[in-house]
Chain A
Amino acid sequence: MIVPARILHHGTASGDLIRLTAPLSFWGGTDDHGRIVDAHHPQCGAVLTGKVLIMESIRGSSSSSSVLAEQIRTRTAPAAIVLARPDPIIPLGALVAHELYGLATPVVVLTQPAYDALPADGMIQVDAGATHATVTWSD
């Protein structure tokens, strides 16, 4: 299956997907190792490093831009992020990490039907170029 996506930040990545069932704040919600440490989060304990992170929206602090950029720098960030609603905080962290370190972490938004059609697990690929983006997985 291949679906079009809106680009929030460019890049190409693939990996095992991890789907969060509640919004996450990177600031305070994840640690230096890319692990979810928010005790109230349903996926607390999960490690996001190298995964394609699927979540409807993010929660909370604008300092999450810094936390994501720092995780990209230390190679503990998700490989790609797929959202259901546009958000300025996450792509800002990706943009700064790209400017400073040349590391491009794709961030895209799917329409709600496409988001709902994503599989529960398995490999998924995100290609976000200059003009268009796609999310691909095998059925």
Chain B
Amino acid sequence: MQSLHLTAGEEGMLGGRDGDGVALAMRVIVGQARISDAPRLVEITSAHVDSCLYHGQVSLDFAHRLVDLGAKVRVPTTLNVGSTDLLHPELVRDRDLASAGRELMAAYVALGCTPTFTCAPYQLPNRPGLGEHVAWAESNAIVFANSVLGARTDRYGDFLDVCAAITGRAPYAGLQTTEARRGTVVFDCRPLGRFLQSDLAYPLLGHHVGSVVGAGIPVLVGIPADVSEDELKAFGAAAASAGRVALFHAVGVTPEAPAQVDDLPVHEVDLATLREVRRTLSTFSSGELDAVSVGTPHASYAECARLADLVGTGPMLKVPFYLSTGRATRARAVETGVLQALEAAGVTVVVDTCTYVTSIVARAGRVLLDEIA
């Protein structure tokens, strides 16, 4: 077991120099650092907190304890989705959950977090750059930050994320370290050819790669250089959900992708493989859909605009259609008229939460068409 070295400043935080709230947060960070065999802590430049999603009374008790002890975040901190839509509370079916969820979201804002309430903080301004150490929670945000932005975050989750924001520190372990960020297995996607121009390719590819590598670090070969961030978002979210992928590299696309991959094992991916993935993910093969849900992870502005074009020119929607997005993206869509076009076509736009974590889908929503889940 390696011994953990703390700086004088970190010892001071642990000893209560900056108040009891900071000391509590530092006990959590130090405890986790010891378990991870970290030799030291690392200073972070931003945090993304997922603890604002309600998992029971303990969620509220922890946030309120930090507030009562006077804790404040010391780095810019965004918030993940909560358990309710604060702008459209009437959409949420479970009133008790909505009420507890609202209280929890307010507590995290009181700690100094920015009320972004999105699982796609990488769609906001001021995102971290190559080599920056951050503490991000939420598996799709983690994989995007590590892979597409080249920032460094390990897999953080409940309690730890906000403690990192309050102390400005994270354990120097896992994907914070250079040696843990090397690719472990190659996926040669070149046999997919023109199918890689289709946005359907990326969630299917992500699901396949995640299922094969588990917690490994895949290196993709053959991804077109003009692949969009939305496609990489879809790939990463599916890979994180099907496996535990927290970092991938795409040669010629992502900033830390290796130039040489000769020494790694190689899997070829062809159309037959993805066809099979699509078959296993479709639990419903015939009959009528009850609802359609898109925006998990939250839809970007470009995706909202594209959907507005599609539904604005097509026939009337016959089933409930939900789009989840961040409140910042919604505000931009209001300015440009995209939101009005979506709503005129019958799309229900959900913010602050998403249809995946909160019961929003109307009563008959049994057969659901969802882009990733």
A: residues with CB less than 8 A from B are: 6, 8-9, 27, 60-63, 65-67, 69-70, 73, 86-89, 91-92, 95-97, 99-100
| Contact status of A88 and B57, CB under 8 A, knowing A65-B158, A65-B159, A99-B24 | no
Q: Is B62 in contact with A88, judged by CB distance below 8 angstroms?
A: no
Q: Is A95 in contact with B157, judged by CB distance below 8 angstroms?
A: no
Known: A63-B53, A65-B159, A95-B28. 6 other contacts (CB 8 A): A63-B158, A65-B158, A66-B59, A88-B32, A92-B159, A99-B27
Q: Is A97 in contact with B157, judged by CB distance below 8 angstroms?
A: no
Closest chain-A Cβ to B88's Cβ sits at a distance in Å of 25
Which of A9, A87, A88, A100 counts the most B-chain CB atoms under 10 A from its CB? Answer: A88
- Residue among B27, B36, B58 making CB contact with A70, cutoff 8 Å: B58
Q: Scan B45-60; emit 1 where CB is below 8 A from any A CB, else 0.
A: 0000011010111110
Pairs of residues from A and B, 6 with the lowest C-beta to C-beta distance, nearest first: A62-B157, A70-B56, A66-B55, A70-B58, A66-B158, A69-B58
Point out the residues of chain B lying under 8 angstroms from A96, CB to CB. Answer: 28, 58, 62, 159
Q: Is B28 in contact with A92, judged by CB distance below 8 angstroms?
A: yes
Q: Is B31 in contact with A100, judged by CB distance below 8 angstroms?
A: no
Q: Is A100 in contact with B1, judged by CB distance below 8 angstroms?
A: no
Q: Scan B190-214; emit 1 where CB is below 8 A from any A CB, else 0.
A: 0000000000000000000000000
Q: Is A86 in contact with B58, judged by CB distance below 8 angstroms?
A: no
CB pairs A–B below 8 angstroms (6 shown): A63-B158, A66-B56, A67-B55, A69-B58, A89-B157, A92-B31
In the docked arrangement, what's the CA distance between A62 and B156, Å? 7
Q: Is A63 in contact with B55, judged by CB distance below 8 angstroms?
A: yes
Q: Is A62 in contact with B155, judged by CB distance below 8 angstroms?
A: yes
Q: Is B58 in contact with A66, judged by CB distance below 8 angstroms?
A: yes
* Any A CB within 8 A of the CB of B225: no
In the docked arrangement, what's the CA distance between A89 and B137, Å? 13
* Any A CB within 8 A of the CB of B35: yes
| Contact status of A65 and B24, CB under 8 A, knowing A73-B58, A91-B31, A97-B58 | no
**Which B146-165 residues sit within 8 Å CB-CB of chain A?**
155-160
Q: Is A73 in contact with B158, judged by CB distance below 8 angstroms?
A: no
Closest chain-A Cβ to B280's Cβ sits at a distance in Å of 15
| Contact status of A70 and B158, CB under 8 A, knowing A86-B35, A100-B65 | no
Q: Is B57 in contact with A92, judged by CB distance below 8 angstroms?
A: no
Q: Is A100 in contact with B58, judged by CB distance below 8 angstroms?
A: yes
Closest chain-B Cβ to A135's Cβ sits at a distance in Å of 18
Q: Is A88 in contact with B35, judged by CB distance below 8 angstroms?
A: yes
Closest chain-B Cβ to A13's Cβ sits at a distance in Å of 19
In the docked arrangement, what's the CA distance between A135 and B58, Å? 29
* Any A CB within 8 A of the CB of B61: yes
